[in-house]
Amino acid sequence: MSVTCVFGMQWGDEGKGRIVDLLAAQSDFVVRYQGGANAGHTVIVGEEKYVLHLLPSGVIQPTTTNIIGNGVVLDPWTLMEEIDGLAGRGIELDGRLLISDRAHVVLPHHKTMDAALETLRGTDALGTTSRGIGPAYGDKFRRAGMRCADMLKPERYQELLKANIGAWNAILDKAGMPPIDAVSVVDEMRAVGERLRPYVADTTSVLLDAWKGGRAILAEGAQGFGLDVDHGSYPFVTSSTTGPAGVAAGTGLPPKALQRVVGIAKAYITRVGAGPFPTQDTGPAGTHLAEKGHEFGATTGRPRDCGWFDAILARRASFTQGCDAVALMKLDCLSGLDEIKLCTAYELDGKRVTAPPAYAGDWERCVPIYESYAGWSEDLGGARHFEDLPEAAQIYVRAVQDVMQTPIEMISVGAERERFIPVDGGIPDDVIPDSGVAGGVSA
């Protein structure tokens, strides 16, 4: 019996899709458990680039069954586009894609409302992806949502939709925007429901059977720990539980089924949308990272802000989510920098802070305390063993591992499948001289 969770430890865009694609080769099932089409997971195979928003990143491996779990908010139109797009490239999903009958539907007006609510927030806008995520989860939790099972039964949802739309129209009116036409939404739902009908199933039963039957299941997180609705930089967060804590709720597998947790973190950090970002670098180093890392949103195309690895965030992610191992991504993008900084603590109002503050305004005011590391100029794309890395890179990676107190078991040195370094059991102490970083919860 094996259930593994892959989740983001930063502010999203860590490279989860790439690792899920790799691990999917040994998995029977890949399941998304939260989020929706706000995700943009990129998988590169040879010359081909796939950007997935709702489909699990296991779809590229030919033998996996892919599940959109009950915890996801599903935009049926985006999903159909993705299914058709892959079919056009020779990847057929019939028989290996299942959608939970309990997953909530992102309705057309949820996207309109996402934009309207941002308008109403004015200068306090969150910078959402406009994919309707907040309104769809909002409807779910105020118990006014529509689920995939409802989508298949028009006689059921007509009244439900009318009530739902009535509540939203009151807000649209306030924002000076035209009301939603309930009749047209009902018509749109009818067509899309028929199209998706073959995929909708009781995926909880499928997953429970798979788990009991000893099949390998991979749970794919979207977004990242810093965007978690409880633990992230609230309110500058997404509307779901992004880490392995969300797997049981979002799939129906019991919490005890989870055997392994792999956290994904870039060797630096990026953020897109509003909210605190203490380690942002607005100088030449930030520009270097943006350019080398091609840091543009896979969903919205927005440029991502770039900065230095934030150990406060990563350590909190690792400890609260029970990380067994970390995959450190995009190490190759640091090549060419003279100096690499690593944030090991913050200073706030003259005090040393080692855990993220609850109040986003405080988090915003935090001044990072950095350790400084020597950079390297070598291209890392060809490295396949830890020892292949230049010594400066080894020292930096080791420092990141120390400060997170979690073994780094994979290092990515390029976007292609083969460009990665497995480090079984993490980097051993005796490989390179100790970097001298203290680490520790209270470091």
CB–CB of 50/310 below 8 Å?
Answer: no
Sequence-distant contacts of 134-139: CB under 8 A, at least 24 apart: 134/238, 134/239, 135/109, 135/110, 135/168, 136/36, 136/73, 136/104, 136/105, 136/106, 136/107, 136/110, 136/239, 137/73, 137/104, 137/239, 137/240, 138/239, 139/104, 139/110, 139/164
For residues 162 and 365, what is the distance between their CA atoms, to the nearest angstrom?
A: 45
Retrieve residue 367's tokens: 């001044």
Applying CB under 6 A, which of residues 61, 164, 223, 318 lies at the interface with ligand IMO?
Answer: 223
Q: Is residue 13 a contact point for ligand IMO (CB under 6 A)? A: yes
**Residue with the two structure tokens 């970083």:** 437
Q: Which residues contact 191 (CB under 8 A, 6 or more apart)?
A: none
Identity of the residue, 298 or 327, whose beta carbon is nearer to Mg ion in the bound complex: 298
Is residue 294 part of the annotated active site? The answer reads no
Q: Is residue 241 a contact point for ligand IMO (CB under 6 A)? A: no
CB of 405 vs Mg ion, minimal distance in Å: 27
CB of 44 vs ligand IMO, minimal distance in Å: 15
Applying CB under 5 A, which of residues 6, 7, 13, 393 lies at the interface with Mg ion?
Answer: 13
Identity of the residue, 54 or 185, whose beta carbon is nearer to Mg ion in the bound complex: 54
For residues 172 and 234, what is the distance between their CA atoms, to the nearest angstrom?
A: 24
Within residues 170-209, the interface with ligand IMO by CB under 6 A covers none
Identity of the residue, 300 or 320, whose beta carbon is nearer to ligand IMO in the bound complex: 300
For residues 295 and 313, what is the distance between their CA atoms, to the nearest angstrom?
A: 20
Q: Which residues contact 129 (CB under 8 A, 6 or more apart)?
A: 37, 38, 273, 297, 299, 300
Binding partner selected for residue 21 from Mg ion, ligand IMO, none, CB under the kind-specific 5 to 8 Å limit: none
Q: Which residues contact 124 (CB under 8 A, 6 or more apart)?
A: none
Retrieve residue 181's tokens: 């036409």
Q: Is residue 35 a contact point for Mg ion (CB under 5 A)? A: no
Give the strand pairing for 305-307 and 269-271: antiparallel
Identity of the residue, 187 or 230, whose beta carbon is nearer to ligand IMO in the bound complex: 230
Q: Is residue 65 a contact point for ligand IMO (CB under 6 A)? A: no
Within residues 26-55, the interface with ligand IMO by CB under 6 A covers 38-41
Taking CA 332 as the corner, what is the angle to CA 329 and CA 335, rounded to the nearest 5 degrees?
135
CB of 39 vs Mg ion, minimal distance in Å: 6
Within residues 124-153, the interface with Mg ion by CB under 5 A covers none
Within residues 232-261, the interface with Mg ion by CB under 5 A covers none
Q: Is residue 272 a contact point for ligand IMO (CB under 6 A)? A: yes
| CA dist list (Å): 328 to 31, 336, 416 | 22, 18, 15
CB of 40 vs Mg ion, minimal distance in Å: 4
Within residues 114-153, the interface with ligand IMO by CB under 6 A covers 126-129, 131, 133-134
CB of 234 vs ligand IMO, minimal distance in Å: 11
CB of 146 vs ligand IMO, minimal distance in Å: 19
Identity of the residue, 18 or 102, whose beta carbon is nearer to Mg ion in the bound complex: 18
Applying CB under 6 A, which of residues 79, 103, 227, 404 lies at the interface with ligand IMO?
Answer: 227
Total length of the chain: 443
In eight-state DSSP terms, residue 425 is T
Q: Is residue 222 a contact point for ligand IMO (CB under 6 A)? A: yes
Is residue 41 part of the annotated active site? The answer reads yes
Identity of the residue, 193 or 243, whose beta carbon is nearer to ligand IMO in the bound complex: 243
Applying CB under 5 A, which of residues 8, 15, 17, 40 lies at the interface with Mg ion?
Answer: 40
Q: Is residue 273 a contact point for ligand IMO (CB under 6 A)? A: yes
CB of 156 vs ligand IMO, minimal distance in Å: 28
Retrieve residue 62's tokens: 């030919």
- 66-103 b/e (C-beta count within 10 Å ≥ 16 → b): bbbbbbbbbbbebbeebbeebeeeebebeebbbbbbbb
Element (H, E) at 364: helix 360-365
Q: Is residue 295 a contact point for Mg ion (CB under 5 A)? A: no
Identity of the residue, 83 or 264, whose beta carbon is nearer to ligand IMO in the bound complex: 264
CB of 228 vs ligand IMO, minimal distance in Å: 10
Window of 220-228, 259-267, 309-317, 370-378 that interacts with ligand IMO by CB under 6 A? 220-228
For residues 80 and 196, what is the distance between their CA atoms, to the nearest angstrom?
A: 8
* Active-site residue set: 13, 41
Could you list the residues that contact ligand IMO (CB under 6 A)? 8, 12-13, 38-41, 126-129, 131, 133-134, 222-224, 227, 238-239, 272-273
**Positions that interact with Mg ion (CB under 5 A):** 13, 40, 298
